[in-house]
């Protein structure tokens, strides 16, 4: 086979790996020093130094060809579909907002849009925030005088009536609510503090912590007490800027930032328990996410596969293997004789190492605590490279030197 064909195929493989967070199969090569290789694989468990991919997967519990068809976990008590940050295609599980988005979506407090996205950097409106607080209260049915600009067709109609009746919102002096307007940070602070006060919490603040944050003087006097309480409780801490934290009381608030505020309010201030999600549900979330990622990136079409194996301890392990279209002997020949090919293969192995570590962290973040093993395999099912949770288990120097 011509070298330029191999180089092109491998380059495509590298690009696919870099955009995917995928699990893999850690298997040893039948080449090289078996004793040294075996010592490298002690942490892998039952995977032996001379196994092929097919041998290792003979006890596979599940091949994920149809995982995307599985139903999402469902909380029958609240009738809210359990969701995590992994299920929103526009959210990054490695970002600062990941745990908060999972928390609020699990509890049905902030849900995604109809197209399945969350909109982490969309700014939140007054109507959206009052709806979130109404959901926290259990969606009570209330009646009030209402606002002149709120009609029964508005999604926040019931929430606005409840909030007005209970002093959570007062609206503007002209009898309007402005539900479609983006809410300012100081307005959000007042609404959050009003809700806490309605729940019986003391929202007084000496504002000492608030006054240590740049920009607090820009706030209206009527919002200072509420802003002070939000800072005291950890709901707000200022926006990160090159010169330090900045309160930005007149600025808007991202949905992801509000997710964090609501998580702190519900979990830390009100002391409500975190959502209960079974291990099976946690695993299903992670699996569905990675299958979708593979499908969208084209990895599934190129032959990459995922499987779950139950190890000797009864724990589940992820395995993802990315095949290269060539026999082990051909890959070895090209690795030895072509600098470009060797460089591409080394880059691909580095991406697999990073991906296995990243996916493990996602798994732990979701509470699944699953071991993640990844590898690059030849067309005759020999392992070219393997890594477990970001640590190399099958070095290229062993398999290809």
* Whether residues 214 and 144 fall in one domain: yes
Helix (H) or strand (E) holding 319: strand 316-323
Dihedral sign from CA coordinates of 321, 95, 270, 140: negative
* Whether residues 53 and 148 fall in one domain: no
Res. 262 pLDDT band, cuts 50 70 90: very high
Q: Is 138 exposed, middle or buried (0-12, 13-18, 19+ CB in 10 A)?
A: exposed
Pick from 174-188, 276-290, 335-349 the range whose average pLDDT is largest: 174-188
More confident residue, 160 or 83: 160
Q: Which of 122, 121, 72 is nearest to 95 (CA)?
A: 121
Average pLDDT over residues 280-295: 76
Across 13-17, 242-246, 283-287, least confident range = 13-17
- Rounded to 5°, the CA angle 70-75-76 comes to 105
Q: Which two tokens stand for residue 103?
A: 């928390």
Q: Are 263 and 100 in contact (CB under 8 A)?
A: yes
pLDDT tens digits for range 63-84: 333 222 223 222 333 333 467 7
CA 96 to chain centre: 10
**Is the pLDDT reported for residue 28 higher than 80?**
no
SS3 string, 76-95, reads: CCCCEECCCHHHCCCCCCCC
| Domain end among 216, 240, 269 | 269
pLDDT of residue 196: 98
Spatial distance between the Cα atoms of 367 and 360, rounded to a whole number of angstroms? 11
Q: Which two tokens stand for residue 385?
A: 């490279």
**Is the pLDDT reported for residue 105 higher than 70?**
yes
Spatial distance between the Cα atoms of 189 and 162, rounded to a whole number of angstroms? 18
* Whether residues 158 and 224 fall in one domain: yes
* Whether residues 244 and 317 fall in one domain: no
Q: Are 382 and 31 in contact (CB under 8 A)?
A: yes
Q: Quote the domain boundaries for residue 52.
A: 3-67+278-400
Spatial distance between the Cα atoms of 349 and 340, rounded to a whole number of angstroms? 14
Please state the φ and ψ torsions of residue 376, each to the nearest 5 degrees: -110, 130
Res. 352 pLDDT band, cuts 50 70 90: confident
How many independent structural domains does the chain possess?
A: 2
**Is the pLDDT reported for residue 297 higher than 70?**
no
Measured CA to CA in angstroms, residue 114 lies from 101, 118, 130 at distances of: 16, 9, 19
pLDDT averaged over every residue in the chain: 77
Average pLDDT over residues 159-163: 95
* Whether residues 315 and 247 fall in one domain: no
Spatial distance between the Cα atoms of 337 and 128, rounded to a whole number of angstroms? 62
In sequence order, what E strands does 324-382 have? 371-377
Pick from 224-238, 292-306, 330-344 the range whose average pLDDT is largest: 224-238
pLDDT of residue 299: 67
* Whether residues 237 and 101 fall in one domain: yes
More confident residue, 197 or 74: 197
**Is the pLDDT reported for residue 53 higher than 90?**
no
More confident residue, 325 or 185: 185
More confident residue, 299 or 101: 101
* Whether residues 88 and 42 fall in one domain: no
pLDDT of residue 9: 28
Across 223-237, 250-264, 357-371, least confident range = 357-371
* Whether residues 291 and 245 fall in one domain: no
* Whether residues 95 and 210 fall in one domain: yes
Percent over 70 (pLDDT), the chain? 77
pTM of the model: 0.63
- Listed in sequence order, the residues at least 6 apart from 138 whose beta carbon sits closer than 8 Å to its beta carbon are none
More confident residue, 311 or 158: 158
Q: Are 151 and 157 in contact (CB under 8 A)?
A: yes
Name 182's bridge partners: 125
Res. 153 pLDDT band, cuts 50 70 90: very high
* Whether residues 396 and 334 fall in one domain: yes
Average pLDDT over residues 183-199: 97
- Give the β-pairing of 239-241 and 80-81: unpaired
- Three-state DSSP at 156 gives coil
* Whether residues 261 and 330 fall in one domain: no
Spatial distance between the Cα atoms of 46 and 374, rounded to a whole number of angstroms? 15
Q: Are 231 and 223 in contact (CB under 8 A)?
A: no
pLDDT of residue 399: 67
Average pLDDT over residues 156-185: 94
pLDDT of residue 323: 82
* Whether residues 130 and 176 fall in one domain: yes
Helices (H), 1-85: 3-18, 34-40, 53-56
Q: Are 356 and 372 in contact (CB under 8 A)?
A: yes
**Is the pLDDT reported for residue 345 higher than 70?**
yes
Res. 373 pLDDT band, cuts 50 70 90: confident
Across 55-64, 82-91, 240-249, least confident range = 55-64
Q: Is 151 exposed, middle or buried (0-12, 13-18, 19+ CB in 10 A)?
A: exposed
pLDDT of residue 82: 60
Spatial distance between the Cα atoms of 385 and 320, rounded to a whole number of angstroms? 12
| Domain end among 269, 286, 301 | 269
Average pLDDT over residues 24-46: 29
Across 81-85, 112-116, 256-260, least confident range = 81-85
**Is the pLDDT reported for residue 288 higher than 80?**
no
**Is the pLDDT reported for residue 109 higher than 70?**
yes
| Domain end among 230, 251, 269 | 269
Across 26-30, 320-324, 378-382, least confident range = 26-30
């Amino acid at each position: 086979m011509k070298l330029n064909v191999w180089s092109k195929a491998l380059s495509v493989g590298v690009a696919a790996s870099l955009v995917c967070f995928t699990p893999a199969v850690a298997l040893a090569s039948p080449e090289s020093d078996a004793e040294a290789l075996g010592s490298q694989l002690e942490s892998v468990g039952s995977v032996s130094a001379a196994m092929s991919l097919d041998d290792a997967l003979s006890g596979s519990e599940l091949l994920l060809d149809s995982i995307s068809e599985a139903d999402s976990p469902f909380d029958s008590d609240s009738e809210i579909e359990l969701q995590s940050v992994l299920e929103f295609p526009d959210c990054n599980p490695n970002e600062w907002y990941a745990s908060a988005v999972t928390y609020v979506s699990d509890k049905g407090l902030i849900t995604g849009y109809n197209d399945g996205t969350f909109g982490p950097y969309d700014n939140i409106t007054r109507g959206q925030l009052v709806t979130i607080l109404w959901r926290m209260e259990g969606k009570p049915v209330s009646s009030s005088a209402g606002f002149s600009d709120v009609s029964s067709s508005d999604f926040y109609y019931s929430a606005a009536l409840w909030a007005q009746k209970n002093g959570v919102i007062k609206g503007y002096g002209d009898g309007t609510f402005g539900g479609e307007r983006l809410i300012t940070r100081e307005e959000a602070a007042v609404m959050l503090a009003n809700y806490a006060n309605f729940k019986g919490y003391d929202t007084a603040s000496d504002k000492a912590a608030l006054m240590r944050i740049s920009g607090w003087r820009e706030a209206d006097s009527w919002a200072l007490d509420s802003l002070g309480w939000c800072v005291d409780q950890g709901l707000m801490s200022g926006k990160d800027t090159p010169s330090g934290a900045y309160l930005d009381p007149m600025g808007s608030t991202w949905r992801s930032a509000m997710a964090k505020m609501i998580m702190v309010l519900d979990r830390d201030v009100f002391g409500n328990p975190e959502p209960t999600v079974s291990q099976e549900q946690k695993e299903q979330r992670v699996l569905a996410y990675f299958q979708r990622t593979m499908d969208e990136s084209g990895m599934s079409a190129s032959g990459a596969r995922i499987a779950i194996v139950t190890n000797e301890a009864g724990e589940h392990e992820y395995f993802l293997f990315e095949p290269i279209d060539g026999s082990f002997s051909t890959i070895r020949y090209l690795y030895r004789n072509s600098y470009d090919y060797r460089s591409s293969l080394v880059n691909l192995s580095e991406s697999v190492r990073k991906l296995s570590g990243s996916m493990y962290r996602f798994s732990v973040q979701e509470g699944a605590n699953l071991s993640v093993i990844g590898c690059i395999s030849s067309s005759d099912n020999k392992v070219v490279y393997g890594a477990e949770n970001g640590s190399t288990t099958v070095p290229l120097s062993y398999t290809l030197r």
